[in-house]
Every structure is written in structure tokens, then in C-alpha cells.
Amino acid sequence: MLLKKIDILDHCVPPKYPKAAQLNRFHGSARVLLKIDTDGKVDAVDFLRSSGWWVLDEALAKSVVGCKILDQAPGKDITAAVSYHFRLDEKYRFDADPELIADSCEKSDLVKIADPKENGLGIVVGSLVSKTGEVQRTSLEWASGDEALDRESIRVVKSCKFNPATTAGKLYNAPYSIRLLPVSK
């Protein structure tokens, strides 16, 4: 049985926004599949789409696993797909986050940048985008388990160009994460 709509905040303690994530201005929306046991508690979480940052995804998983999400026990195991948005406090937000310039990334025969509507966790690469729109640093937030795909994903992200983050017309270095999927052959 798949439940259509569940608001996890009605039943669980909201995920604590990790301080490091706030200071680094990490934010995003995760989509998860909750596995709910016969008593109505969340047994496990499978990520359908990462928030873009492992530290946020981990906070979400920790907040819902073990939570009694249904007031009435269903008497059987069920699943529910839910989304959760990590939104920064106003003092940490940019007026405009970095924006990927369409078709600026090098092409690859192994991976492609995922469309936001495509399911699948994929490979998530975090980056620091400079004031000039170049990728300064990268981090592998979610690996594929295939070293060649992970390396290629990092190479592709490093080649991308961005419109930098801004606040009050001033340019800033800012984080940005990109989800990539293996190319179907």
C-alpha cells in the first residue's frame, strides 16, 4: 500500500538544521520513501532524491526513523513518498543562488545531469561556485559505488559555468549541488 500524502512534521520532530549546513548555506529539497511498519512507525528511509547535501539528508533520516507517523496502526507494512524542504533562515539566504548556465558543462558518455523531474538518487556532487561563476571545489555527496562514474561526475561538474550568487547586487562565493545519472546504453 502506498500512502498518498503524509506531513511528517505533523507526527515527527522536524529535522534539526545542522549548524555546519547553515553556515555553509546548504539548502534543498529531499524526496524519500518511508517504510512504515505494522505499528505505524518508520522503519527505514530510502532516498528518491537528495537535498543535494549529505549532511541534510542524514538529518532528515535521523528525524523520521523510529517516528510513529500514523495515529492508527495499519496492521501491515506500507510505504509513503514524502518531500522535505530545508530552507535557510533569512540571514543566511542569498537574493539569488548560483544558477547553472544551460549547456555549459562538458558532455559525457558515462553520466548526464539529471532533470529535476527524474527519479533516482544518482550521484550528487556538491561544489563551491566562485564570484566569477567557476567551480572552485567539489565534494562527492552521494557516490554511485562505481569509481569511474563518480570521477566522471566530478569532472563534468568542474567544467560547468554558473551565474554567481548575489545579494543586494554584490557577488558571492556560494554552494551548489548537482545530481547526475548514469547514461543509459
Q: What is the pLDDT of residue 168?
A: 94
- The amino acid that residue 139 corresponds to is S
Mean pLDDT across 50-73: 92
Location of C-alpha cell 513518498? 81
State the Cα–Cα distance between residues 152 and 147, nearest whole angstrom.
Answer: 9
Kindly list the domain boundaries of the chain, sorted by start residue: 2-92, 99-182
**2-92 placed in CATH 3.30.2420.10:** yes
Question: What's the whole-model pTM score?
Answer: 0.86
pLDDT in tens, 124-147: 999 999 999 999 999 999 999 999
pLDDT at 180 over 90: yes
- For residue 184, what pLDDT band results from cuts at 50, 70 and 90? confident
Cβ 150 vs Cβ 140: under 8 Å: yes
Q: What is the pLDDT of residue 151?
A: 98
Report residue 69 as a C-alpha cell. 507517523
State the Cα–Cα distance between residues 53 and 21, nearest whole angstrom.
Answer: 8
pLDDT at 59 over 90: yes
**High-pLDDT (> 70) share of the chain, %:** 95
- Output the average pLDDT for the chain: 91
Q: What is the pLDDT of residue 8?
A: 59
Cα–Cα separations (whole angstroms), residue 78 to 5, 9, 61, 89? 13, 19, 17, 34
Q: What is the pLDDT of residue 74?
A: 82
pLDDT in tens, 3-45: 444 565 577 888 999 999 999 999 999 999 999 999 989 999 9
The DSSP element (H or E) to which 25 belongs, if any, is none
